[in-house]
Structure 1
Amino acid sequence: MKAQVELGRKLFFDRRLAFNNTNSCAMCHIESQGLTSNQSARAIGMEGRSLSRNAPALYNVAYQDTLFHDGRESDLAQQAWAPLLSPLEMANPSIGHVVDKIRSFEDYRGLFEAVFDGHGPSMQTIGDALASYQRTLLSGNSRFDKWYYGKQDDALNADEKAGFEVFMGKGQCATCHTVGEKSALFTDHKFYVTGIGYYNAIGAGSRVAKVELAPGYFIDMKYEDMKSFSAPRINDIGRFAVTLDAKDRWAYKTPSLRNIELTYPYMHDGSLSTLEDVVAFYDKGGLEHDGERALQPLHLAEKEKADLVAFLRTLTTAEDQAKHEGYR
C-alpha cells in the first residue's frame, strides 16, 4: 500500500525519533551515498558516538534472510526497533517512549489509523511502516543483469566479462556472493571469518586506513595515529554473540554486492576504502585469525585484479549512480 510506504518513509527520515531529536535512520543510510554513509568507516550515533560497525547498505534488504552484520534479526519490522532503542544510536529509553512521542506529534495525527485499519502508533504498526518503506529500496537491472540475464552481449566490455570469469572462478568470489540462474542477490546469507574481526580485537597496530577528507580525496593514516582523536574501538565478536558457538567468533554475514561501487567503505567495520583494497585483501588471503590465515591466497595477476574490479562496477544501476553523482 502506497500510503503505508509513505508513512514508513516519513518515519525513516524523521530525526525526532531519536531521544534528543537529532538522529534519523536516513542519517546513516543516505540515499545518495549507496544507502550507507561514505564519510565514516563505522556508523556515527547519538551525540557523535562511534558504533562498532559500518552502516550496511539497504539495497534489496527485503530479500535478506537475516539482518545486521551478525544476523541477529530476521524480520524487518522487528529489526527497526534495534537502532531506536540502542543507547549508541537513537537512545530511546523504551518502546513506550517512542510510541508516546509519535502519538504526540500533530503531523502524524490520523496517519497510522488511515493505513492500519484504525490502529494508531504501536510497536507493531511503527515497525510495519518502516519495513514497508525499506522493502521498496530495490536495486536491479544493472549492466550485469542486462548482459547475464537479458543476454545483451554488448552491455559489458571484454575486460568486464573477463572480470566475471575471475569472479566465478579463480577469485572464488561466487562461493559466497552467489549468482543464481534467474536472479542474483550476490550473497549466500552465511557468516564467515576473514581475520579482520580478530585483528581488531587484538589491536590494529600499524594497520593503515584510507580516510576521505573530501569527496574522492583520500589520505593514508595508521590506526595507531587516529587514537588521539577518535573513540576507542568497541570489542566486537561477531556472530558468536548470537550463537555462542566458538566457530562463529569474529564471523560476519556475506553482504550483497548490489551497487557495491557506491557503498564504500567496505567490510563489517568499514576498514577497506576502495574496491581495489578489497580485492587486494582477499588476494593475499585476508588477515591471520588465531595464528593462521583465515583464507587462502588467490595469487591473482594484476590484470585479473583490475578486471575483477571492472566487473564489480557493472553491478551499479544507472539510477543509483545518478543519485550518487549528484551528491559528489
Structure 2
Amino acid sequence: MTYKYVVAKPSLTGRELEYVTDGIKDGWISSKGPHVTGFERAFADYNGVAHGVSCSSGTTALMLALRALGIGPGDEVIVPEFTMVATAWAVTYVGATPVFVDCRDDLNIDTGAIEAKITPRTKVIMPVHIYGRRCDMDGVLRLAYEYNLRVVEDSAEAHGVRPVGDIACFSLYGNKIITSGEGGICLTDDQRLADQLVHLRSMGFSHNHDFIHRKLAYSARMTDMQAAVAQAQVEQLDDFLAERREIERRYNEGLADVDGITVLPPRDVLWVYDLLAERRDELHDHLARAGVETRRFFRPMSQQPGYLDPVWPTLNATRLADQGLYLPVYIGLTASDQDYVIGKVREFYGS
C-alpha cells in the first residue's frame, strides 16, 4: 500500500551530500576515512561523553558492549519485556541469557521489579529508553551499585537522552532521529572499554597487525560514507529535536479530548508518537484507507518464539502492546499534515 503520510522518513537536507562527495573525491570510502573519527568525536561531544566507537548497526553496538564487558555463556542480563527484539538478541548473540522484567504504564522497564530477578549470575542491567522516553536511570544505577552490576543503555530510540551507564548504544537505522541508513555507535567514558570496542569491531587485530587473532571478534565497522551522513546529521540534531517537540505538542493538543485515545506521558525526545487506542486494529485500518501509515507496538519478549514463556498473557507489556499504535513523525511533517492525521483519528471515534 502507498501512504501519503508515512510513519518515518529521514531528513537529508544538511551537508550529507557534501560530506559523502568529499569522501569519494578523496578516495576515503572505507572505515579508515576521516568522517568516521569526525562523527565519533561529534556525537561523543554532543552527549558530553569521552569516547564514541561507531559500528555497523545498533544491534551490533549492544553486542559489542556486552563483549567489551566480558559477558558470555553462564551470565544473565536484565532486559525489558517491552522492547524491540534486538535488545534480547544481542544478549543471546554473546551466549548469555536475557532475563525479562515487565514494564510500567509509561512502557519503560519497571525498576521496582528488577531486584527480584537478580541472581548470582546477573552481570548487566540493559534498560531501554522506549520510544524516546527516558527510563528511571536513578533506580537502575542504584541497583547496579548495590549488586556490583554494569549498565548498558539501549538508546537506539533516544538520540538526545544523555548517557549515564557504562556504555550507551545508539542505532542509526533509517527511521531513527538521526541516521546513516544503517549503523550504530557506542558511547563510554571508560578508555579501556572504548579500546575493547574498537578491538572487537575490527577483527581483533593486534597492535602490530601480525594476523594472529587472539579472541573471537567481528567485522563490524562503519564505512566513511555512512559516517559522512551521520556527521552531517549530528550537526542538525538540536533542530531535529526542536521540530519533533513541536510535532509532539500538536498531537497532544489535537488528541487530548478524544474518547477512545489515551495520550501517553511526555517523551524526553520524540522518536515516535505512541498512544493507546480502543479498537486499535480497526483504527489502524481506517487510517490506512485514508493514506496514513501507522505501526502497532512491539510485542513482549516472552511472546517471542525464541524466548516463549507462558507468563506473557498476564504481563502489563502485553496489555499495552494490544492497545498501542504510533502515528507519523518525521522532519517536514507540517501542521496541516498533522491536522489531517488528527482529523482522521477524530473521525474514527466520532469526535
Shorter-chain TM-score: what band?
Answer: under 0.3
TM-score (norm 1): 0.26
TM-score (norm 2): 0.25
